[in-house]
Structure 1
Amino acid sequence: MSRWDLFVRNIQQDLKLFVFILALLCIMRIAFIVGLHSYLSAQATISDIFNALFFGLRLSLKSADVVVLFSFVFCTLLSVIFRTEKLEKVRMVLGSIYVSLLVLLFHVRIPFYKEFHTGFNQLIFNTVRDDIGALLYTLVIDYYLPVLLASAAVSSYLVCRSLRKILNTVTVAPAQFPFAGQKVAFRVAIIASLSIFMVFTRFGGSLTYAHSLHWENSAISKDDFLNEAIIDDIQALYRAYSIQERIRQGANMKVDAASIRSYTTIIQGSELISNEVDETFIRHAQGARIPKPKHIFIIMGESFAQWPLFEQFGSLHLADGMKSIISRGNACYVPAFVPNGAFTPMAVTAVVSGLSDVSLYPNYHLESYKEPYATAIAPQFKKLGYKTNFWYAGMSSWERIKDFTMAQGFDNFYGDEDFPHETGNVWGSDDRYLFDAVLSTINNDTPTLNVILTVSNHAPYSVDLVREGFDESAVTAALPGEVQGDKDLVKRLGHYWYTDQQISRFVWEMQQKNPESLIVVTGDHADRTNISKTPTIFERYTIPLVLFGQGITRQTIPANTAGSHINIAPTLLELIAPPGFAYYSLGPSLTRGSALGFSHNVWITPDAIGRLPVGSAEAFDGTAKALDNKEVLQQTIDVMRALSWWRIEKGKMLNFIAGGNRNG
């Protein structure tokens, strides 16, 4: 067989592989939409679904092209160069590996979406830092990992057999021409067509970059679920990698020493002339607003979302404990509040370090272990005479939480190995025993600041709810009819109820034991469990912030206030510190009024919420809302993230001198 004949034959085989992979991706997209159709919003139409399928097909041209490129290089070209047919097996091996990967990713994507309401994104990079043993246990118990893997293996085998059959079908011999000119023209046409095809697939169904489709501009639907369906798993992994790299490099932040100096104007009102970025964060307290508490407690409830507090979900009685606390005259409630990020580590790092999430994971970053950040909470409360303790219901090795908190100035760390507990799971003890340990340890000899992190409202959801008194039948009856049969949902709701019960029990018992205490209750994140498959942004992402204790009133924090985890420390400092007390904070105190809170993917103001980057906005009831100051909001968020990024990645020095600058 001539080299040209080999080339034409191999091109046909590559085309078969391409069509097979593309068809598989499209079938998986349809299966994803059908299997999880309950996540479609009520406004989604058949036209929206077909548009999603069409744009998904375009985007998957790029994903199918990935393996075909390898096949073209290592099979087609090498076959022509060495004039051999023995490399045919390479194509089958490459194709089999790729389709097996696609099948496995599809099987994983279903539970991933159910849990996080998104396809694969940059948050998957946190997985390798998590407790792998506990994570595997959760996957086995809650997501039937052995069954999932077995299904993926069987499906992969069947799909690979189908691929083999397709590749074994006959190919068409190239046309023969009597004249040399015709032969040359035909070959030029084939090569030109091949080149155009490569460009067309590379640009996602376009011949120019200006009209290309990629993951960044593929969100053509108003339905979040359909937008995720458009992005196949290969493109989702590429999205995760791209975002992670941009964050790592500080892309779109203009993070250089000169910019950091100018950013101070936005935070402080004047340019920074010092060589230390920490000077950007310095503030001075206006004077104590409440009697100095003997003990301060910051409770972060695992997955303690805000929506159970809303009136429309009152019949479920999931948050009666928190509602009772909020109703007291010595309580203050901030509903316009979002977490620092999507996972517990982001909440911990924000409260402990005072810096916003930029996916640098300070708990693993070298800079965090040199000395406490100036914005860290523990050293600043030590200056006010408090001993600082971190309490965690889980293991001290998780996410280096003990190492990180101690490096950031906490005097003591207590994990589940430090207190007795009869029940729990691989993530830690049941919350009851955590709060019992705190109650039994706190005394009036020394003022303390205590950060408390719970774990029970987390898969594998193993609390004995019957023993704890959870009325499953009453909650089931109060649910909408379409989800009353969802046992997993009821179990999750029961664990939220349990967390609420344990937190409120602790609040009342601590008030009795030490009425001079100040207690702050919030969540580490939301976005795990909702009644609706299409919740509003406010329902899906917000967490509560409640202050309770002596001297607190409903007016302690102005009504028109919004914030996030980075606002907690400065708020407490402004409540108790003497006038002129110098402290360091990225976020402003809520007592002074704060017009903005933000997390890794949403922003919130006192009357609106939206996704990042700042664009369209929703009122808290989910209706569209006009937004006049989007540029200001985006600039403020960018500045705070840039300052956090620099402090974690570059350190506290700016590497410039007054009167001139050098890029750091």
Structure 2
Amino acid sequence: MRWPAVFAWETFDDLLRKGLKVWLFYLTVLFFFRLFFLGWMQEYMGAGTGAADVLAAVVRGARLSCQTAGALTLVALVPGALAHYLLPRIENVCWKAAAGAELIVISVLYVASFPYYRQFHTNFSQLMFNAANDDVWALFLSLVQEFYLPVRLAGALVLAYVLWRLFTLFVLAWRGPRLAFAARLAWPLRLAVRALALGVCYLIGLLSVFGGSLGWQTAVDWENAGVTRDDFLNEAILDNLQAVHRGYVLQHRMLACNGLDFTVDDIRALAALHAGMEPVSDDLDDYLHHQAAGPAAERPSHVFLILSESYANWPLLEKYKNLHIADGMRAVIAEEDSDYCPTFLPNGASTVSAVTGVVTGFADANLYLTTMPEAFAAPYPTASAPQLAALGYETNFWYAGPATWERIGAFTRAQGFAHFYSRGDFGDVPGSVWGCEDEVLYERVLAGLDDAPSFNVILNASNHSPYDVDVEAKGFDKERTRAALPEAAQGDEALLRELGHYWYADRELARFIHAVKERWPDSLVLVMGDHADRYNIEKTPSTYERYGIPFIVTGRGIHKGTLAPESAGSQIDAVPTLLELIAPKGFSYMSLGTSLTAGNRQGVNYGFFITRHAIGKADTVPLVPEPVDDGPAPELDQQAMQDYINAIRSISWWRAKYGPILDAAKLADR
């Protein structure tokens, strides 16, 4: 029995060719859109931007636009394919209608992107979604009077029509090479030709899904696209639809920050309890003031606070010593000028939470700070950079990845960092899609500093999937680590690759610390993981081994016992610990966290609490403490811990979102 003609290969061939031509057409349009934008707006390029930077932006943008072209093709393909098989007479009408609608959208966005960039110095962002909250009529008049809306709209429609005509000529009128000739070949060759055609479709599908890549390990998307050192080029890498998608995602992340279940009275009482004061003020900042007790260490010339990607605490435990993946930092911790707190929590489950915790001083409390306008208006009073600047330090943030990831470049600068450096500043260096290799980052930090006092936050990236550093070539003894693993895990090559990357991160951390101490003997270095919970040897690790990160401080003036023996904390406690180590007596600072030198005995984050002897989920009633070691379940003051959890969360939520004044009327608009 023969297939009906509608299902014949020749019929499928026609649809296949149209789909491929549509994808190539949109990819070409987006490519030339980007080129013209770069040429027309080149005055926005920063000084020192060269041809290599422009080429990198064009290539990266073309890869990202593979994804956009794929999405546009899919939207047009659905009505085209349905008509192709069910109503062939109107197939071309469906293609033309779908393409016409898409071309109007991308043309209007493209024409609008020029004045939008001039106004906001960014490609489309979440600000466009905030327009609904403005005076719509006033906004319309502004668009007409200041931005010549009728003229620009007419120009966009003309552009769309020209592109639509080209679409009809290229996709519909021009037949192109046919694959149906394979019907005249012997059946093995016929199958080979058709398999090749399907293989091309599969390849284009991969490029469309993974942003110009063949797998997620090297995928390009809007979050990791900005790899140049120029802000304008990083924005131009995103085609307009990708920029709109970015704005949409960031807007919904912000809208998801819908607050916690606390009243104004709750927050006032909790803030007072946390500060050891009476609840007499409606100004939250009154409960956040501290005065330094006096330096516990000599004033360092340089301070380094390192957030090390996925640097969990469990490899530093004695039971895992024979793995030899943490030998570098074990040696640092053992030195006389070092101290270590093994009961420490990350601010959240991801790197961005660690960044916001260190940069702003607030806990992860159902807010996405890197998307919130409030976080870009001015530094929060608890922000780390302005307070270190007040002590005479130049403030720098060093990141191994692209400045566009989570808006980290703009966010850290908005929160007071004088300088931000990212992969785009480092040139063509080895690394993964998430950032350059750790040794490169540390080299750039050392090369970028002189003897002027500085405070440096460093965020590395090598200990992160896709785990593609050649760690064995760099010296990782995989077989020694394999032999130390439980027998059931010795054949797990993926685990060994992950452990090798921990080894690499650990080794480079130790090397960097030693290089810093050799160059600036009076320096101070603080180290903590950005988060844990990425890999463990056990399939069901304890809560402590799964989520705990280390907090390590080393440098001149530090000694065993600098941190209180019973101390525990989280990332919001790192900067107050630093300030109590180096600030002169009486120095006034603002902090929600508490110094570990002063005996802070608990930490809390998005889901857990920790003390020196207990850890547990923060949202159970009652709280259920689990031991951090092999001992019995420890005692826990339920009310004190619950009050601490609620205070940290409620203050972080309100102060970051609504400002210092406790006013119930502000909740009416939630």
How high is the TM-score relative to the length of structure 1? 0.62
Give 3-state SS (helix, strand or coil) of 1:467's partner: coil
* Mapped pair 1:638 → 2:663: no
Shift of 1:467: 2.0
* Mapped pair 1:481 → 2:490: no
* Mapped pair 1:616 → 2:619: no
Shift of 1:261: 2.2
| Matching residue of 1:336 | 343
Select the residue among 297, 302, 307 that pairs with 1:300: 307
* Mapped pair 1:325 → 2:332: yes
| Matching residue of 2:317 | 310
| Matching residue of 2:225 | none
Shift of 1:301: 0.6
CA gap of 1:527–1:138, structure 2 versus 1, over 3 A, is farther
| Matching residue of 1:140 | 215
Select the residue among 617, 637, 660 that pairs with 1:652: 660
Shift of 1:344: 0.1
The separation in 2 between residues aligned to 1:348 and 1:607, in whole angstroms, is: 27
CA gap of 1:139–1:344, structure 2 versus 1, over 3 A, is farther
CA gap of 1:357–1:316, structure 2 versus 1, over 3 A, is same
Select the residue among 432, 439, 452 that pairs with 1:425: 432
Select the residue among 348, 357, 360 that pairs with 1:350: 357
Matched to 1:399, the amino acid is E
Matched to 1:372, the amino acid is P
The separation in 1 between residues aligned to 2:541 and 2:478, in whole angstroms, is: 23
CA offset digits 1:328-365 (Å, max 9, x no partner): 00000000111000000000000000000013111111
Shift of 1:533: 0.3
Shift of 1:255: 3.3
Matched to 1:140, the amino acid is G
Select the residue among 569, 575, 585 that pairs with 1:569: 575
Give 3-state SS (helix, strand or coil) of 1:389's partner: strand
Matched to 2:503, the amino acid is W
Shift of 1:272: 4.7
The separation in 2 between residues aligned to 1:409 and 1:486, in whole angstroms, is: 45
The separation in 2 between residues aligned to 1:583 and 1:616, in whole angstroms, is: 34
CA gap of 1:488–1:662, structure 2 versus 1, over 3 A, is closer
Matched to 1:641, the amino acid is R
Correspondences of 1:7-46 after superposition (within 5 Å): none
| Matching residue of 1:163 | none
CA gap of 1:139–1:621, structure 2 versus 1, over 3 A, is farther
Matched to 2:597, the amino acid is T
Question: Is the 8 Å Cα contact of residues 360 and 380 (structure 2) preserved in structure 1?
Answer: yes
Give 3-state SS (helix, strand or coil) of 2:635's partner: coil
Unaligned runs of 5+ in 1: 1-131, 146-243
Question: Is the 8 Å Cα contact of residues 524 and 554 (structure 2) preserved in structure 1?
Answer: yes
Matched to 1:598, the amino acid is V
The separation in 1 between residues aligned to 2:432 and 2:438, in whole angstroms, is: 11
* Mapped pair 1:259 → 2:272: no
Unaligned runs of 5+ in 2: 1-206, 221-252
The separation in 2 between residues aligned to 1:495 and 1:452, in whole angstroms, is: 18
Question: Is the 8 Å Cα contact of residues 138 and 460 (structure 1) preserved in structure 2?
Answer: no
The separation in 1 between residues aligned to 2:639 and 2:585, in whole angstroms, is: 34
The separation in 2 between residues aligned to 1:408 and 1:628, in whole angstroms, is: 37
Shift of 1:602: 1.3
Shift of 1:408: 0.2
Give 3-state SS (helix, strand or coil) of 2:616's partner: strand
CA gap of 1:133–1:299, structure 2 versus 1, over 3 A, is farther
CA gap of 1:144–1:275, structure 2 versus 1, over 3 A, is closer
Shift of 1:288: 1.2
Select the residue among 284, 294, 298 that pairs with 2:291: 284
The separation in 2 between residues aligned to 1:476 and 1:504, in whole angstroms, is: 23
Give 3-state SS (helix, strand or coil) of 1:548's partner: strand
| Matching residue of 2:412 | 405
The separation in 1 between residues aligned to 2:210 and 2:562, in whole angstroms, is: 41
Matched to 1:603, the amino acid is F
The separation in 1 between residues aligned to 2:368 and 2:400, in whole angstroms, is: 21
Moved more, 466-475 or 392-401: 466-475
| Matching residue of 1:438 | 445
Root mean square deviation, CA, Å: 2.7
The separation in 2 between residues aligned to 1:461 and 1:290, in whole angstroms, is: 38
Between the aligned residues of both structures, percent identity stands at 42
The separation in 1 between residues aligned to 2:602 and 2:470, in whole angstroms, is: 40
The separation in 2 between residues aligned to 1:516 and 1:382, in whole angstroms, is: 18
The separation in 1 between residues aligned to 2:411 and 2:548, in whole angstroms, is: 26
Question: Is the 8 Å Cα contact of residues 263 and 664 (structure 2) preserved in structure 1?
Answer: no
CA offset digits 1:5-32 (Å, max 9, x no partner): xxxxxxxxxxxxxxxxxxxxxxxxxxxx
Shift of 1:612: 1.9
Select the residue among 547, 550, 554 that pairs with 1:548: 554
The separation in 2 between residues aligned to 1:551 and 1:441, in whole angstroms, is: 25
Matched to 2:507, the amino acid is Q
The separation in 2 between residues aligned to 1:634 and 1:461, in whole angstroms, is: 39
Shift of 1:139: 9.6
Shift of 1:133: 11
CA offset digits 1:82-126 (Å, max 9, x no partner): xxxxxxxxxxxxxxxxxxxxxxxxxxxxxxxxxxxxxxxxxxxxx
CA gap of 1:136–1:255, structure 2 versus 1, over 3 A, is farther
CA gap of 1:315–1:137, structure 2 versus 1, over 3 A, is farther
The separation in 2 between residues aligned to 1:249 and 1:417, in whole angstroms, is: 35
CA offset digits 1:226-281 (Å, max 9, x no partner): xxxxxxxxxxxxxxxxxx999833343x232x333222221222235444322221
Shift of 1:628: 3.6
CA gap of 1:361–1:376, structure 2 versus 1, over 3 A, is same
Shift of 1:425: 1.5
Question: Is the 8 Å Cα contact of residues 326 and 506 (structure 2) preserved in structure 1?
Answer: yes
The separation in 2 between residues aligned to 1:647 and 1:406, in whole angstroms, is: 19
The separation in 2 between residues aligned to 1:134 and 1:521, in whole angstroms, is: 37
| Matching residue of 2:601 | 595
CA offset digits 1:484-525 (Å, max 9, x no partner): 111111101101100001111100011100101000011000
Correspondences of 1:184-583 after superposition (within 5 Å): 248-252=257-261, 254-256=262-264, 258-444=265-451, 446-583=452-589
Moved more, 513-522 or 466-475: 466-475
| Matching residue of 1:48 | none
Question: Is the 8 Å Cα contact of residues 247 and 358 (structure 1) preserved in structure 2?
Answer: no
Question: Is the 8 Å Cα contact of residues 219 and 433 (structure 2) preserved in structure 1?
Answer: no
Question: Is the 8 Å Cα contact of residues 616 and 627 (structure 1) preserved in structure 2?
Answer: no
Shift of 1:649: 1.8
Shift of 1:440: 1.1
CA offset digits 1:556-590 (Å, max 9, x no partner): 11110100100001011111111111100001111
Question: Is the 8 Å Cα contact of residues 306 and 544 (structure 1) preserved in structure 2?
Answer: yes
The separation in 1 between residues aligned to 2:487 and 2:307, in whole angstroms, is: 32
Give 3-state SS (helix, strand or coil) of 2:257's partner: helix
The separation in 2 between residues aligned to 1:421 and 1:505, in whole angstroms, is: 23
The separation in 1 between residues aligned to 2:626 and 2:632, in whole angstroms, is: 5
Shift of 1:639: 1.2
How high is the TM-score relative to the length of structure 2? 0.61
CA gap of 1:318–1:416, structure 2 versus 1, over 3 A, is same
CA offset digits 1:523-550 (Å, max 9, x no partner): 0000001000011111111001100000
| Matching residue of 1:173 | none
Question: Is the 8 Å Cα contact of residues 332 and 552 (structure 1) preserved in structure 2?
Answer: yes
The separation in 2 between residues aligned to 1:455 and 1:134, in whole angstroms, is: 24
Matched to 1:637, the amino acid is I
CA offset digits 1:438-494 (Å, max 9, x no partner): 1111211x2100000000000111111122111111111211111111111110110
| Matching residue of 1:110 | none
